[in-house]
Amino acid sequence: MMRSTYKKVPVLCATLIPFVFACSSSYAQAIKNKSTGGTNPPVETQAANSKYKPAFAGQTRIAGVKTKTPYTVTLLSKTLEHPWGLCLLPDGRFLISEKMGTMSIVTTAGKVVKKITGLPAVVPDGQGGLLDVNIDPQFATNKMIYWAYSEQVTGGTLLAIAKGKLSADESKVEHIEVIYRATPAYKGSLQFGSRIVFDKNGNLFVSTGERSGADIRMQAQSLNSSLGKIIHITKNGKPVPGGPFAKTAGSRPEIYAYGFRNPEGLALNPATGELWESEFGPRGGDEINIIRPGKNYGWPVITYGIEYSGEKVGDGIQQKEGMQQPVYYWDPVVSPAGIAFYNSNVIPEWKGNLFVGGLSSMHIARLVIKNNKVIGEERLLKNEGERFRALAVGKDGALYAVTDGGKFYRVAKK
């Protein structure tokens, strides 16, 4: 089972499972790694779940950093209904998806000004429900919204991607159409993914989970399955022409990259235009990846995590030719959810940093990036005791976050 349910205290939170392995070698390596990113010790001091060694210096437990700019943390609201997705609107307000099947439009002061209902039925069990939401790049004129949700179909549930037009009074979505379904369906309620990001041409990147079960997880390696993938589709749900597997017999042409477990974070790096992803491991092995077309990211063949039972995953290997290494990984886990690059000048030292919502870890991780490597890590809002589900940078240069507990935060320069 995965850790990313909407409940505030997860049943199988990996950080609550007693550690069974010594951490001396991992921590010694971490101390050595700090030479790549600063003078402070790593922010992680707990024992690792495994004795696995990183593939390169700085791949895990990088040196700690600390924000020098004075900032304030403001709790704007605590009444959202299990929020999941957080999307910035052109006028500076936010569109927030809520797990049970509604959306809210919320001001930067935390006031819910519109409640959107009448969306297709979701299956809110486990990790399912109404998941991510994003707006069309031309939303200011076409009012189109795209969202992901768990749908009941013959044979189980699946991840569906739908679109529709926000009504003039902002109370409902009209002309709803399901444009893509991640098949096959599966009788389970775990690991759907899913985030939606628009590329520079207005097409959609969609992340899909592999649905967790031991009887289906290997489909993450199958090019004839939508599970455990980054999918690249048009606004009508068709494969983007010229995809890496468009001419590969027996492959789905919409697949952009494969070999993922439960990718709950996607964001474009504004400095490079590259797509970055955050991914849940099992016990250990949470990852940050740069997604490149046609590449295999390894799950469940390679991983830095172990099974929840304590057994190794598969053959217990971390590297294999033809499979990509994560830019960064965590052990023990942080349960990474939504991610956002900070691209404002309001807090200059944050510019280009990647912020990662942590669920079981109950903090926001700030990762300092240089030349596509993580060179520093900081933990923010760790005293709030919240599971941070999604992040966004506002027009005011503040970092906004929603939590599974229904809270809405702003982190802003003093």
Tokens of 337: 């959810």
Query: What are the E-state strand segments in 271-347?
Result: 275-280, 286-291, 328-330, 336-341
Region for residue 245 given its phi and psi (left: phi exceeds 0; alpha: psi -120 to 50; beta: otherwise): alpha
Residue 38 has what pLDDT? 56
Q: How far apart are CA 194 and CA 132, in angstroms?
A: 6
- Show the low-confidence residues of the chain (pLDDT under 50): 1-37
Q: Is 31 helix (H, G, I), strand (E, B) or coil?
A: helix
C-alpha separations of 215 from 211, 212, 330, 339 in Å: 10, 8, 26, 29
Q: How far apart are CA 175 and CA 21, in angstroms?
A: 54
Domain ranges of the chain: 14-413
Closest C-alpha to 337, from 293, 401, 405: 401
Q: What are phi and psi of 59, to 5 degrees?
A: -75, -20
Closest C-alpha to 382, from 156, 143, 80, 45: 45
Give the DSSP per-residue string, 213-230.
-TTTGGGGG-TT--TTEE
- The dotted CATH code for 14-413 is 2.120.10.30
**pLDDT tens, residue by residue, 312-329:** 999 999 999 999 999 999
What's the whole-model pTM score? 0.91
Closest C-alpha to 128, from 218, 186, 190, 64: 190
**pLDDT tens, residue by residue, 155-180:** 999 999 999 999 999 999 999 999 99
Residue 39 has what pLDDT? 75
Tokens of 389: 């589900």
Q: How far apart are CA 408 and CA 108, in angstroms?
A: 10
For 352, residues 6+ apart whose C-beta sits below 8 A from its C-beta are: 269, 270, 271, 341, 342, 343, 369
For 311, residues 6+ apart whose C-beta sits below 8 A from its C-beta are: none
